């Protein structure tokens, strides 16, 4: 374990409200050194406003080249932890060769239920009464990596995608901040001390 603050890179694609929670965590024993997106987005603006370095790596037709560029961009800060927080892309083999075990993703369902980009819609369509959020290690699959923590969120009568997603995102924001506060590196991997809920 290191006594230095952990260096964190956050990957985003959109609004960046999870990123905001991470940046706003005044009790944080970690430091966000870089925010990377696949397109210009509100998350990049949030990072700039917070004085954090940013990079945009637009997806290319040549996915292997994009994967390599993303990996090189992230590697520049030598992060301890990479958080995929609303990053809507699958990370490729070169990225995972460098950062597997150090990369975690937050997903708006109780995996293994409802993987993929439409998790909230899929849960509503299915008619589940309880859904939630999951933080997991990222592997080569689509939301298939080892589960680190989950929180349940009840589906309320009359919920729409947006009301349900907002309640799930509230749980996601609390969960990711709680985990990052308890993160450390052990045997070449990010681990989380204490209980996960
Ligand atoms: C979160 O629900 C995340 O799990 C999903 O996209 C959402 C990101 O929200 N992949 P925001 O951009 O941080 O507001």
pLDDT tens digits, residue range 97-124? 999 999 999 999 999 999 999 999 999 9
- Pocket test residue of 13, 19, 84, 86 for ligand 1, highest count of atoms within 8 A of CB: 86
Could you tell me if residue 44 is inside a domain?
yes
Cα–Cα distance measured from residue 106 to residue 31, given in angstroms and rounded to the nearest whole number: 18
What is the tens place of the pLDDT at every residue in 48-103? 999 999 999 999 889 999 999 999 999 999 999 999 999 999 999 999 999 999 99
Residue 19 in this model has a pLDDT that exceeds 50: yes
Residue 193 lies in a domain: no
Q: What is the pLDDT of residue 115?
A: 98
Residue 179 forms part of a structural domain: yes
Which residues form the catalytic set? 107
> For residue 1, is it within any domain?
no
CB of 143 within 6 A of ligand 1: the answer is: no
Average pLDDT over residues 9-26: 97
pLDDT at 1 over 60: no
For 153-179, what is the mean pLDDT?
Answer: 98
Inside any domain, residue 197? no
List, in sequence order, every residue forming a beta bridge with 131; answer none if it has no partner: 153
Q: Given the CA of residue 120, which atom of ligand 1 is nearest to it? A: 2
pLDDT score recorded for residue 4 = 78
The answer to whether the CB of 109 is under 6 A from ligand 1 is no
Whether 173 is in the pocket of ligand 1, judged by its Cβ within 6 Å, is no
Residue 52 to residue 139: CA distance in whole angstroms: 27
Rounded to whole angstroms, how far apart are CA atoms 177 and 24? 9
Number of domains in the chain: 1
Whether 52 maps to a domain, the answer reads yes
* pLDDT category of residue 5 using cuts at 50, 70 and 90: very high
Distances (CA, A) of 56 to 10, 61, 74: 12, 16, 11
Closest ligand 1 atom to 12 CA: 12
Residue where the block lists tokens 């349940």: 152
Residues that constitute the known binding site: 63, 88-91, 105
* CB hemisphere CA count around 170 (13 angstroms): 8
Q: What is the pLDDT of residue 83?
A: 98
**Tens digits of per-residue pLDDT, 24-56?**
999 999 999 999 999 999 999 999 999 999 999
Q: Whose CA is nearest to atom 3 of ligand 1?
A: 86
pLDDT of residue 194: 86
- Tell how far CA 64 is from the center of its chain: 22
- For position 171, which CATH number holds? 3.40.50.170
Q: What range defines the domain where residue 94 resides?
A: 6-188
Whether 76 maps to a domain, the answer reads yes
Looking at the whole model, is its pTM more than 0.85? yes
Residue of 19, 35, 120, 169 to mutate, ligand 1, most atoms within 8 A of C-beta: 169
Following DSSP, what letter does each residue of 85-115 receive, concatenated? ES--S---HHHHHHHTTTEEEEESS-TTSS-
> What per-residue confidence (pLDDT) applies to 60?
86
In a domain, 123, yes or no: yes
């Amino acid at each position: 374990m290191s006594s230095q603050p952990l260096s964190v890179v956050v990957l985003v694609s959109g609004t960046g409200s999870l990123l905001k929670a991470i940046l706003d965590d005044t009790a944080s024993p970690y430091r966000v050194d870089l925010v990377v997106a696949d397109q210009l987005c509100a998350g990049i603006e949030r990072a700039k406003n917070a004085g954090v370095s940013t990079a945009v790596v637009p997806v290319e037709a040549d996915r292997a080249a994009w994967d390599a560029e993303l990996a090189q961009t992230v590697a520049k800060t030598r992060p301890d932890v990479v958080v995929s927080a609303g990053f809507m892309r699958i990370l490729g083999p070169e990225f995972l060769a460098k950062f597997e075990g150090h990369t975690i993703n937050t997903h708006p369902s109780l995996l293994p239920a409802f993987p993929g980009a439409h998790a909230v819609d899929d849960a509503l369509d299915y008619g589940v009464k309880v859904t939630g959020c999951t933080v997991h290690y990222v592997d080569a699959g689509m939301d298939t990596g080892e589960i680190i923590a989950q929180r349940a969120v009840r589906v309320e009568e009359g919920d729409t995608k947006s009301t349900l997603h907002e309640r799930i995102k509230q749980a996601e924001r609390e969960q990711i901040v709680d985990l990052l506060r308890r993160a450390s590196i052990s045997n070449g991997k990010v681990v989380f001390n204490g209980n996960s809920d």
